[in-house]
Amino acid sequence: MYATNKTFSRKQGQGMTEYIIIVVLVAIAVLALVKAFGSTVSEKFKGSTSTVSNQLDASGSGKNGPSGGNVSGPPVSPQ
């Protein structure tokens, strides 16, 4: 009985070790990908936000919205 429990404990420890190794390898791969493509992705997002901002400015839908900050609709009474 004791040998069975000891064997089970070793297998469980081995499984945990393998899991940790896999997690570490995935983390290293993610870090390598971010390092390799991080600036490219950042530039793409900067370009897209600039394009969207320019489109909104050109359509007159700046920071205040399409109505220039005036909200149409019925007045709301405080409760």
Each residue's pLDDT tens digit, 34-47: 899 888 888 888 88
Task: Spell out, as residue ranges, where the chain has pLDDT lower than 50.
Answer: 1
pLDDT score recorded for residue 47: 84
How many distinct structural domains can be found in the chain?
1
Domain membership flag for residue 15? yes
Q: What is the DSSP string of the chain?
A: -HHHHHHHHHHHHHHHHHHHHHHHHHHHHHHHHHHHHHHHHHHHHHHHHHHHHHHHHHTT--TTTTTTTPPPS------
Longest CA–CA span in the chain (Å) reads 79
Domain membership flag for residue 17? yes
pTM of the predicted model, to two decimals? 0.45
